[in-house]
């Protein structure tokens, strides 16, 4: 026995030694494998070759002839980069010896929204803000990393990618493996030197100035572009297609006359906005939050139409110190005119509040970046950017001298060498970094609150359903209002559309290695799935399919409009209808089986769901996907919820665990189904069998049958109850002690007609 144990121990020690020896080689081979799909010029324009991988985790030197240009590394070697699919997102990143990001290349991912939907080039392009970012100040905690552009429908994917690039670069810079010229050590020293003087807004000044004086000293900055200047700029760009579509108008016509001003200082704010608007603004601003005014004239609108469709101003961007942020409609207030004396009449005037999650210093220079777009085809566009620089005049800035901070004792590095105090402080700052999923929940606080309130309202609707359905008019409009909220806010605005892809990803994660972190990346999706899981135990799949699915809400609202304009409704024969039900279960089982072999292939096949096209991407997609979604919606005009009834794999996936529900709150009379068929005939999705029982696998919990259950003018059982009650009341009345005998046959005939209906 002892001999056997000794042998097993020796084998284990040898195996561990071999693994420790070959693990660096495995990591290097992974880096070299992906580097083989890239060129040195992808990261450094003048580079000519890759070198030999160095260290652990490996980094790949890049040379321009014999000169070191920088390094390339793989993000997953330094930090976890698990996307919404639950699979790693691998990015090759280029960084120069001074710690500046120079380029990156997406080499492997399993993100469904990128595999089918949003073009990969568009997602990668959203990360362009990171190029040129200096990691040294970010690593020391003295500067916030640049924020990537957000692409509708791919928010989680882009934020995960940006976070993995920045975090991995910070780890590499702190490791000291770059050349001595790395600025990570110089940045804290510069920050300490600069800390001897603090700057803040001078809010004590209170005077009113005219337009010319504000424009003259730089309180208001201006950018003017003519039609000829825009045409010339596109001609000089690399996009020849854009140059072929010049702007209409005379060359000297004003393309845009753009103005920008920081209006937080009272002098500028009151002069431009007026006292009442400025005071209202101050009440709205949070402590430390800033506001600015953007106004324009000309044929080009700085607002565009993106804020109408998606709530975001996609033509202007605030940039400072390499970081940028776009404004949303909640940050915007439209103004009719300017209060300053001599101010021109401007076509567009907007008052914008700077988002609180953007680190903005009003005393430092910033830029208002204008994005000029030009259509070059049916869906293709070309873009140029123009910067309007702004620096707040010194007269609005208060400066205070402070003593330089005392030096902190040196820390000891892993190599046993004393590190400067700034590096120790940097480590302390970095150790407090929150995971990305926590940052996502903090960013979405408002949306989370709205979603929780909506779920509380829906729970109240279900718990008090008996009282609500007795008021059919009120209940009908309540339901339509909730469906409108689900479609417009939950679907088109917040993109919180659940999908069968979520089910496949979850089951795949249970097999390959479960982690809550990547499910927490999308707060609203996580909250909705939690609510759906709970509701399955109480009511089955109905709460989601009938109330919380944006595409289902779109179908029902469109069908209601179709009925209102007189479009005929088709009722599928019961025998055919019953045999079409299994189609969605077959689709789900096929998707589930394929996902066990390849989750990527299953995500491609999941395009049978039109959710991504109609809700996430708002029909802004290739024409075959749009045509498929429109065809399903068109069928729903004649057969209510056509897709939900016969094709939805998510509905099938939810129906399976929905059989475990613990309560049955949908009431039935003994006469339901035998002989009365009214509920079965009027069920919007035909989920009631001719025998009278409700098929919970198909029920969307619209509660129309419960309206009939209590209606004493449509339900035969309730009609008889009402008539008996009326007869008893009539017999009990003194004026009818000897009433004339009434024939019973008309009453029987009346009830019989209703039963047949």
Confidence at residue 412, expressed as pLDDT on a 0 to 100 scale: 38
Label residue 181 by pLDDT band (50, 70, 90): very low
Judge if pTM exceeds 0.75: no
Residue of 540 and 180 predicted with greater confidence? 540
For residue range 602-656, list pLDDT tens digits in order.
878 888 999 888 988 788 777 888 999 999 999 999 999 999 999 999 999 998 8
Amino acid 709: pLDDT: 85
The DSSP result for 186-214, as a single string, is: HHHHHHHHHTTEEEEE---------HHHH
Q: What is the pLDDT of residues 24-74, one digit of tens each?
A: 444 444 777 777 778 888 888 888 888 888 888 888 889 988 888 889 898
- What phi, psi does 667 have (nearest 5°)? -85, 150
Report, as an integer, the average pLDDT of 342-355: 91
**HEC per residue, 259-302:** EEEECCCHHHHHHHHCHHHHHHHHHHCCCCCCEEEEEEECCCCC
Q: Which residues contact 191 (CB under 8 A, 6 or more apart)?
A: 137, 140, 142
**What pLDDT score was predicted for residue 18?**
42
Across the chain, mean pLDDT equals: 79
Poorest-confidence range of 304-313, 481-490, 657-666, 668-677? 304-313
Mean pLDDT to the nearest integer, 227-239: 81
User: Token pair 């006359």 is at which residue?
Assistant: 257
Q: Would you call 581 exposed, middle or buried from its count of C-beta atoms within 10 A (0-12, 13-18, 19+)? A: middle
Q: Does residue 151 register a pLDDT over 70? A: no
pLDDT band of 518, cuts 50, 70, 90: low
Provide the 3-class DSSP secondary structure of residue 630. helix
DSSP 8-class letter at 620: -
| pLDDT, position 561 | 94
- Look at phi and psi of residue 673 and say left if phi exceeds 0, alpha if psi is from -120 to 50, else beta: left
Of 77-81, 637-641, 719-723, give the lowest mean pLDDT range. 77-81
Q: In degrees rounded to 5, what are phi and psi of residue 317?
A: -150, 140
Confidence band, pLDDT 50/70/90 cuts, at residue 744: very low
Query: Is pLDDT above 90 for 263?
Result: yes
Q: Give the residue-averaged pLDDT of 138-143.
A: 70
Q: Which is higher by pLDDT, 459 or 600? A: 459
Which of residues 26 and 243 earns the better pLDDT score?
Answer: 243
User: Residue 568 carries which DSSP code?
Assistant: P
- CB 652, CB 584: distance < 8 Å: yes
pLDDT exceeds cutoff 90 at 303: no
Residue 417, pLDDT score = 37
pLDDT digits (tens, 9 = 90+) for 434-479: 666 777 788 788 889 999 999 999 999 999 998 999 998 999 999 9
């Amino acid at each position: 026995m002892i001999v056997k144990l000794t042998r097993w121990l020796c084998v284990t020690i040898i195996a561990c030694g071999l693994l420790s020896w070959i693990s660096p080689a495995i990591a290097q081979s992974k880096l070299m494998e992906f580097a083989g799909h890239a060129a040195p010029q992808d990261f450094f324009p003048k580079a000519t070759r890759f070198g030999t991988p160095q260290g652990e985790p490996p980094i790949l030197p890049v040379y321009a002839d014999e000169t070191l240009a920088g390094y390339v590394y793989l993000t997953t070697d330094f930090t976890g980069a698990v996307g919404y699919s639950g699979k790693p997102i691998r990015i090759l990143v280029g960084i120069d010896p001074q710690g500046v990001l120079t380029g990156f290349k997406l080499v492997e991912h399993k993100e469904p929204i990128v595999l089918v939907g949003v073009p990969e080039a568009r997602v990668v392009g959203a990360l362009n803000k990171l190029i040129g970012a200096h990691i040294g100040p970010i690593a020391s905690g003295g500067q916030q990393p640049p924020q990537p552009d957000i692409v509708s429908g791919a928010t989680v994917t882009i934020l995960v990618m940006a976070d993995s690039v920045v975090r991995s670069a910070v780890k590499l810079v702190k490791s000291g493996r770059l050349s001595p010229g790395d600025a990570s050590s110089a940045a804290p020293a510069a920050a300490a030197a600069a800390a001897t003087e603090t700057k803040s807004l001078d809010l004590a000044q209170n005077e009113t100035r005219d337009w010319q004086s504000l424009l003259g000293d730089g309180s208001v900055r201006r950018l003017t572009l003519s039609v000829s200047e825009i045409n010339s700029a596109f001609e000089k760009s690399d996009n020849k297609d854009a140059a072929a579509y010049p702007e209409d108008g005379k060359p000297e016509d004003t393309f845009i006359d753009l103005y920008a001003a920081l209006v937080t200082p009272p002098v500028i704010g009151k002069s431009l906005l007026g006292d009442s608007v400025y005071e209202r603004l101050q009440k709205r601003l949070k402590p430390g939050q800033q506001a600015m005014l953007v106004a324009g004239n000309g044929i080009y609108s700085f607002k565009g139409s993106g804020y109408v469709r998606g709530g975001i101003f996609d033509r202007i961007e605030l940039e400072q110190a390499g970081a940028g942020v776009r404004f949303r409609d909640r940050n915007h207030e439209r103004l009719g005119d300017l209060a300053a004396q001599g101010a021109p009449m401007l076509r567009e005037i907007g008052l914008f509040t700077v988002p609180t999650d953007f680190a903005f210093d009003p005393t430092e220079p910033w830029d208002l970046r204008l994005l000029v777009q030009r259509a070059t085809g049916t869906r293709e566009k070309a873009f140029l950017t123009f910067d309007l620089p702004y620096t707040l005049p010194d007269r609005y800035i208060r400066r205070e001298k402070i003593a330089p901070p005392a030096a902190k004792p040196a820390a000891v590095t892993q190599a046993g060498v004393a590190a400067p105090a700034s590096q120790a402080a940097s480590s302390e700052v970095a150790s407090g970094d929150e995971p990305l999923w926590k940052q996502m929940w903090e960013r979405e606080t408002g949306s989370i609150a709205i979603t929780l309130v909506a779920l509380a309202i829906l729970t109240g609707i279900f718990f008090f359903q008996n009282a609500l359905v007795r008021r059919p008019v009120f209940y009908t409009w309540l339901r339509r209002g909730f469906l409108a909220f689900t479609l417009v806010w939950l679907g088109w605005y917040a993109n919180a559309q659940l999908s069968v892809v979520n089910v496949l990803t979850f089951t795949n994660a249970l097999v390959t290695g479960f982690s809550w972190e990547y499910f927490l990346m999308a707060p609203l999706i996580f909250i909705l799935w939690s609510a759906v899981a709970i509701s399955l135990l109480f009511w089955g799949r109905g709460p989601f399919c009938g109330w919380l699915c944006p595409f289902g809400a779109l179908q029902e609202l469109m069908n209601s409009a179709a009925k209102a304009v007189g479009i005929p409704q088709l009722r599928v024969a019961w025998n055919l209808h019953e045999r079409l039900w299994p189609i969605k279960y077959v689709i789900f089982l096929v998707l589930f089986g394929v996902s066990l072999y390849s989750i990527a292939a299953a995500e491609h096949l999941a395009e049978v769901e039109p959710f991504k096209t109609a809700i996430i991407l708002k029909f802004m997609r290739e024409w075959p996907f749009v045509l498929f979604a429109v065809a399903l919606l068109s069928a729903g005009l004649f057969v209510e919820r056509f897709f939900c009834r016969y094709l939805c794999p998510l509905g099938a996936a939810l129906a399976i665990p929905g059989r475990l529900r613990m309560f049955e709150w949908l009431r039935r009379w003994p006469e339901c189904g035998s002989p009365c068929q009214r509920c079965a005939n009027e069920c919007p999705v035909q989920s009631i069998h001719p025998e009278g029982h409700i098929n919970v696998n198909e029920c969307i919990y619209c509660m129309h049958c419960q309206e009939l259950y209590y209606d004493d003018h449509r339900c035969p059982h309730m009609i008889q109850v009402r008539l008996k009650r009326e007869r008893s009341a009539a017999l009990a009345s003194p004026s009818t002690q000897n009433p004339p005998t009434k024939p019973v046959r008309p009453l029987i005939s009346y009830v019989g007609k209703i039963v047949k209906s």
